[in-house]
A and B are shown apart, each in its own frame.
Chain A
Amino acid sequence: MNLSLLILLPIITAMAILFSNGLKQIRVIGLLGSIAQLGLASWLLKLYLNERAIGNTATYLFESNYPWFSALHINYHIGIDGISLAMILLTSLIVVAGILVSWTMDKLSKEYFFLLVLLSMGAYGFFISLDLFTLFFFLEVAVIPKFLLIGIWGSGNKQNSAMKLALMLMAGSALVFVGLMGIYYNTHTFDIVQITQIGISAGVQQFFFPFAFIGFGIFAALFPFHTWVPDGHASAPTAASMFLAGISMKLGGYGCLRIASLMPDAAHHYAWIIILLATIAIIYGAFATMMQTDLKYINAYSSISHCGFVILGIGMMNKTSINGAVIQMVSHGLMTALFFAAIGMIYSRTHTRMIAQLGGLLKAMPFISTVFVIAGLCSLGLPGFSGFVAEMTVFMGSWQNPNGVYRLATIISGASIVVTAVYILRATGKTIMGPISNEHALLGDATWNEKFAAALLITGIVIIGIAPFLLNALIGPGTDNIMLQVGKAITLK
């Protein structure tokens, strides 16, 4: 299959949206387009599994390579491994859910759906790129829609949040760019496959790794560059929050992973800093969440904590921990998207997100409350949901690292789960249980589109939670390949 279809389909959808009129037409086109994306992603999964089943052990499947700026050795080189496929599936699920929860968006609906689709195009392009320039191109393509989505359709202090988010993410990509320049002028190519073959000398790696890793880290809410996360998520409209947490932050995590596998020496060299920052993010994020009174801020700060696990897994650099990091990315994407969807549903009915003003919602809107609880339980790592599997895998991987300090970091991060339980149970308890105010008692429950969106995300969460081996088998070859690079680097030393 030609992977360019994944980019082409959103472009066609976006064009169709441009030439249609009225919310009804636009949202149907958006939904059809996103369902087609989901279908394409599932079809890709099937093809991928077939290829693996018949024993195709190539690192990247469905590769195609076209020259773009041949004078500068820039190619449009695409291909996927299990990790990128997992991300593509995640993206397509969230896009469908995001379009469904925006079903009644009547303010400038054409622009709104256009930008959502454009954002998904950037994400797909990013995940299938095997050329660092193409990767960088798509990384930046995904920034501007976020700025406009938050600034135009957001709530609260939306303009400042939008500006903060855009500037911090652009700063991140500026750093990534410097890192890429270093790689380019030392290997004379942007091609990930070729770079792995050529290899980068240890000195060069140590100089440029911080640039690229911190750059992508900003996207993944790496402490202390996480400050765009709470404001951005809280101000964004529901679908944009879902896309931000579910897709955009994954761009960062995925980028960090790729950089670490391209420059394994430096990743080892700086591992202690990465692990330190990740541990701080996990603990700080958890405690900061405890103090929040706004549901969206709760989810945003807990995202910082959860994304810390991704960074922690990457920093530990062994097969189990990297597997864990990838599973955590998928799990966190689905879970936060579900959480934001539930918060959006509550907010659109009660017009408040303050815990103090909510209560007893279970009586008025049982479906939404259940969704809310499921998202919460997944977030605190209840077995049976994806959160448990992901965090457990990261911890097991981290513990394999015999270094005492790293084990201490693992223990501290593990302790954060208790804090998570406190804030999640408190938030859900106060919102769902207790007496309900009179004005909230008459509010209606979820509509069909909201039910469908939630069901889609919950299915993903539960499948990973009950049968983690499926996801593990999918991403296994990808992590094996990364470990191969890491192993080479260690033996060279």
Chain B
Amino acid sequence: MMINNFFLLLRQELVITAIIFILLFIKLGKDKSNESLLHIINVLLFINLLIGFFPMMEGGLFNSMFATNKLVVLEKNILNFAFWIISLQSYSWLKTHKHVIEFYILLLSSLLGMFFLLSSDHLLMFYVGLEMSTIPLAAAANFDLTKRQSSEAALKLIISSAFSSSLLLLGISFLYGTTGTLILSDIGSHLSYNPLQIFAFILFISGFAFKISAVPFHLWTADVYEGAPIAVTAFLSVLSKSAVLFAFISILYKAFASLSSMWYLVLIVLSMATIVIGNLFALRQENMKRFLAFSSIAQVGFILIGISGSSHQGSSSLIYFILIYVFSNLAAFGVLSLVSALTGKESIQDFKGFYKNNPTLSWVLTIALFSLAGVPPTAGFFGKLFLLMAGAAKGNYWIIAIAALNMVISFYYYLRVVKAIFMDENDQPIEKLSIPIYPKIAMFICIAGIILTGFLTVVYDYINSLSISL
């Protein structure tokens, strides 16, 4: 029985571990061509994704350090899906790369870390998961071995994540000192507005703010995103961020529920700063990766507003938004990674006149950007509005007004790229690029997701039925 439970509850983690082992064995065996390797890996990842959709039981393991339920499984499935898409999209880049297997092993270990992070019901498990999800990324960020910027990105990532982890650890120790427990579901009942606990909470939230790059803890983001290879940037900005946000909301709503009036204020301040600063910096970016980095900072600001409503609606709109964010951001990164792999061009200037030779890619990028901006009929519209609606539940309409007007500012920089693609003249636009089959599948799925998610209300209803509330 025990063994059965072990295999059933840890199913997703075990599959990923198995894939890592398979990759190791392939590495030890005789050399295979990159292409056949990528076929195998993409199929394995697809199987991994499928396995997550089988019905799952709920329960805990290891003295309830590890807990899983339907919501956690859903979150893991979203992450699995995003990882599969990233893998499909990096096909063109990895085809000629020397270290395909190492790349996948690093990212899969990070994904495994995220899974433990999401399932953690104990602060130690939480910390181990978080570290496991960030440390391999530093190595992955350095994967363009010949680029100096890439090593710089890796160093920045490891230092800033070490710093934020130490803040988190300090917070955890204070929490342990004042409450006497590390089990997340027990902490709540021991919390009062004791100054040391508040201090611990502040440390905790700063650590988190680092990981999701909320202003003023965002300074590492742009450089790391710019320096890392696009696949890693996509992984950082979609998977890492989503995983940490999922963990964040469950800790806030479960463990820190009794401090809600306190973190409500903190979140409002953080979100306003994040939206405004993120937007202002995004306005002037010339490099597409930096541009997406800053725009994703602004997106986090919107997410924080949604969380601050501290309701059932807040958590379901967060998960819904992240699902849509996965579709839209990965569609954008998909086009970027293809263009960058085939031409090496990454600046907005290079995209001038892009529509002339690459209409399909242009529309994919445009629809993705519209979805990020929150324009109907794309799903991004619903995602963003539901976050703002959740935020407005507490009656702070001025905050919502500021956020809504900031959507207009963000609109400017998204439209700037659209303008470059469709309207600007260019003597030497990017030539016609042929799209390999894997990126094509990935883009198709993303675009279908962007267009359909808003109208298939089943998705929202399902998420809503699972969400936690205060």
Contacts and interface: CB of A to CB of B under 8 A. Distances in A.
Interface string B362-385: 000000001000011100011001
A338 interface: no
Contact of B388 (A67, A70, A181): A181
A140 B381 contact: yes
A177 B376 CA distance: 13
Nearest to B404: A174
Contacts of B392: 181, 184-185
Contacts of B397: 178, 181-182, 207-208
B389 A181 contact: yes
Interface residues of B, number: 34
B176 interface: no
Given A159-B423, A174-B405, A68 B457 contact: yes
B281 interface: no
Given A177-B385, A181-B389, A185-B393, A211 B401 contact: yes
Interface string B116-142: 000000000000000000000000000
B423 to A, nearest CB: 5
A158 B424 CA distance: 11
A178 B460 contact: no
A406 interface: no
Interface in B406-426: 407-408, 411-412, 415, 418-419, 422-424
A193 to B, nearest CB: 21
B461 A163 contact: no
Interface in A179-212: 181-182, 184-185, 207-208, 211
B344 interface: no
Contacts of A478: none
B395 A170 contact: no
A137 interface: yes
B419 A151 contact: yes
A290 to B, nearest CB: 33
Interface string A136-168: 011011011001100110000011001100110
A166 B369 CA distance: 15
A167 B423 CA distance: 17
B371 to A, nearest CB: 12
B377 A141 contact: yes
Contacts of A171: 405, 408
A139 to B, nearest CB: 9
A72 B386 contact: yes
A165 B370 CA distance: 16
A71 interface: yes
A267 interface: no
A344 B313 CA distance: 50
A174 B422 contact: no
B400 interface: yes
Contacts of B370: 144
A143 to B, nearest CB: 7
B347 interface: no
Most buried by A among B316, B385, B386: B385
A152 B423 contact: yes
B408 A170 contact: yes
B422 A148 contact: yes
A162 B419 CA distance: 9
Nearest to B401: A178
B464 interface: yes
Contacts of A166: 411, 415
Contacts, number: 87
B393 A69 contact: no
A245 interface: no
B303 to A, nearest CB: 17
Given A69-B460, A70-B461, A177 B388 contact: yes
A41 interface: no
Contact of A159 (B376, B411, B419, B461): B419
B386 A185 contact: no
A62 to B, nearest CB: 22
Contacts of B376: 137-138, 140-141
B461 A71 contact: yes
B408 A178 contact: no
Nearest to B391: A181
A341 interface: no
A151 B423 contact: yes
Nearest to B395: A185
A464 interface: no
A184 B389 contact: yes
B407 A170 contact: yes
A175 interface: yes
A147 B407 contact: no
A101 B364 CA distance: 30
A72 B313 contact: yes
B464 to A, nearest CB: 5
B305 to A, nearest CB: 12
Contacts of B400: 177-178, 181
Given A174-B407, A182-B397, A69 B457 contact: yes
Contacts of A147: 415, 418
Interface string B455-470: 0010011001000000
Contact of B404 (A72, A141, A163, A175): A175
A151 B422 contact: yes
B310 to A, nearest CB: 15
A74 to B, nearest CB: 9
A67 B457 CA distance: 9
A71 B469 CA distance: 14
A208 B313 CA distance: 23
Interface string B341-376: 000000000000000000000000000001000011
B32 to A, nearest CB: 41
A296 B191 CA distance: 67
A136 B392 CA distance: 17
B425 to A, nearest CB: 11
Interface in A30-70: 67-70
B351 to A, nearest CB: 15
A88 B386 CA distance: 30
Contacts of B388: 177, 181
Given A166-B415, A178-B397, A144 B461 contact: no
A67 B377 CA distance: 18
B404 A178 contact: yes
A429 B370 CA distance: 46
A161 to B, nearest CB: 11
Contact of A158 (B385, B395, B423): B423
A83 B272 CA distance: 41
Nearest to A158: B423
Contacts of A144: 370, 375
Nearest to A151: B423
B294 to A, nearest CB: 18
A143 B374 CA distance: 12
Of all A-B residue pairs in the complex, the 9 with the closest CB atoms, nearest first, are A174-B404, A181-B392, A151-B423, A71-B464, A178-B401, A171-B408, A170-B408, A140-B376, A141-B376
25 contacts: A67-B457, A69-B382, A69-B457, A69-B461, A71-B460, A72-B313, A137-B381, A138-B376, A140-B375, A140-B376, A140-B381, A143-B375, A147-B418, A151-B422, A152-B423, A159-B423, A163-B419, A167-B412, A171-B405, A174-B404, A177-B385, A178-B401, A207-B397, A208-B397, A211-B401
Interface of B: 313, 316, 370, 375-377, 381-382, 385-386, 388-389, 392-393, 395, 397, 400-401, 404-405, 407-408, 411-412, 415, 418-419, 422-424, 457, 460-461, 464
Given A67-B457, A171-B405, A174-B407, 15 more contacts: A69-B460, A138-B376, A140-B376, A151-B422, A152-B422, A159-B424, A162-B423, A166-B411, A167-B412, A174-B408, A181-B388, A181-B392, A181-B400, A184-B389, A208-B397
